[in-house]
Amino acid sequence: MQQTYFMIKPEIVREGKHVGDILAIANRAGFKITGLAMRQLDRALVEDFYGEHRERGFYKDLCDYICSGPVVTIRLERENAVAALRALIGATNPAEAAVGTIRSLYGESLSFNAVHASANPEDAARELKLIFG
């Protein structure tokens, strides 16, 4: 069994309609939810979380956005969880995400792409530690 970090972003939480649908998609794909909380993340934590993007032009807007309201933080468990969740959410840009993926269903744009999932097992371990301790 492998663990990964999954996060539902502020625009979805703010709207309040699709959090349950997104969790159900993960459950139907065989993921077990082993941690779950709706949280307002503090700025320092978010800057650290997205630290690999620090030099990118979108970094400040990304951090502002993730801090703009509560997110749903989720720990998921499954065989091959990291790769399986990345496949389930689809490409970073919802316009390029395969039909039926979470970002194709609920994402609006590259900046407002509904969810985040850890990119690789090392990131999963780091992100889970940051968020769940």
Residues forming the site for ligand CMP (CB under 6 A): 53, 58, 62, 92, 110-111, 113, 116
Contact 84, 78 (CB under 8 A): yes
Q: How far apart are CA 121 and CA 119, in angstroms?
A: 7
What are the structure tokens assigned to 17, written together? 């309609």
Catalytically active residues are 116
CB of 112 to ligand CMP, least distance (A): 7
What are the structure tokens assigned to 42, written together? 């503090």
Indicate the residue among 23 and 85 with the shorter CB distance to ligand CMP: 85
CB of 61 to ligand CMP, least distance (A): 7
What are the structure tokens assigned to 49, written together? 């979380």
Indicate the residue among 62 and 83 with the shorter CB distance to ligand CMP: 62
